[in-house]
Structure 1
Amino acid sequence: MYIKRFACLILPCFILVSFYLPKVLAQDIVVEDIEVIDLESRSVVGEYVVGEEGLEVGSVYLIDRDYFVKDMSKEFEGATFIMTAMDDEGSKGADFITFSVKVPIVVWLATDKRWGNPPKWASDGEGWKEQPDYLAQTNEGDTDIFVLRSKEFPAGDISLSGNNDAPANLAPMYWVFLTRGAGGAAVEATDRLTTTWGKLKSNR
């Protein structure tokens, strides 16, 4: 009898948590090693590459300069990052950087504050959100503190456009790092709750 009463109390909680918990987890920054597949760019400098190790203080983030990360939010430590090129600052057009991933991810753009308004492709209207609560600072002189913008993508092909697309001002090239998207965490949490509820039912 007590088990039945306990199950009746648990059911409403389970329903609430199964809807609410994944949304909470979706707000977390989850860093893991993300495989970047078929990375290509239309760079005038050379091939873009994934950083050999995860993002950390001291990481060089450009293929054509020795600028490095001087400070950053601890939430990004170990994040997979793509090294871009300063001399691609005038880049324009769709599909400037393309790659694929096997898991849902969040793409973070570290953009020069002199960008002003972001290009249309990286604007709020296209799903990109400015993230003023997080920091990425380098030793790049006038461009030491970057404006961060992020957007979630499902597993599959990802395309980023040029640095100098309208209405952005000409500014040093953005660089890119990746964190895990919410999809995996939300599914995992829901699965655990479903399993727990199944065990309770089997004990009734």
Structure 2
Amino acid sequence: MDYVIIVAGGKGLRMGSDIPKQFLPVGGKPVLMRTLERFRAYSADLCIILVLPKAQQDYWHELCKKYAFNVDYLLADGGQTRFHSVQNGLALVPNDAQGVVGVHDGVRPFPDIDVIRKCYETARKKKAVIPVIPVVETIRQLSCNSSRTVPRDEFRLVQTPQTFDIQLLKAANQQPYNDGFTDDASVVESYGQEITLVEGNRENIKITTPYDLKIAEVLI
């Protein structure tokens, strides 16, 4: 069986809202619901694990009733960091499970289903896969007193879902936490596994600011 761990721990600070960003409506429905629906549309057999801070779970359940949300999922408590939240989600995956587990940002409601499929299928062979898109703007590298242009062709923007062999991710997440763990690929890379890149989709934005919400409404 395959799994996806959807991590939703935002507080809405950059959004300037009292409501956590994953609960804000886009096209008349909370962002997080759209994210879960996208993965259910990818596969009716996928086991969805939602990781939410304990303090937000009652509000989430109220939203589920309000919107008659009926996508099935397992619920895990959020941790101190993303790394610890993923650990909590992985704890719901049986220790002897075989297959692929994805980790996805709860505030990315627009991953293309073909991209999701590509990530899962590639991970069956390559063990660790992330979707990326090209950098289209000029970028500069800062130093203490100056900056310089760097070749944008040598860089990629990283998206989710990031997909891994289940046993690989479980083993990698037993490492002690460090600040270099900025995403799940960095955790697995630290464990010694090479990361395979696949093409993502530009619409797969991470909704973190009011501007992102406006873009999401257009995409809907």
Q: TM-score, normalised by structure 1?
A: 0.26
Higher relative contact order (CA 8 A, sep 6+): 1
Compare the two structures and name the one with the higher helix fraction.
Answer: 2
Larger Rg: 1
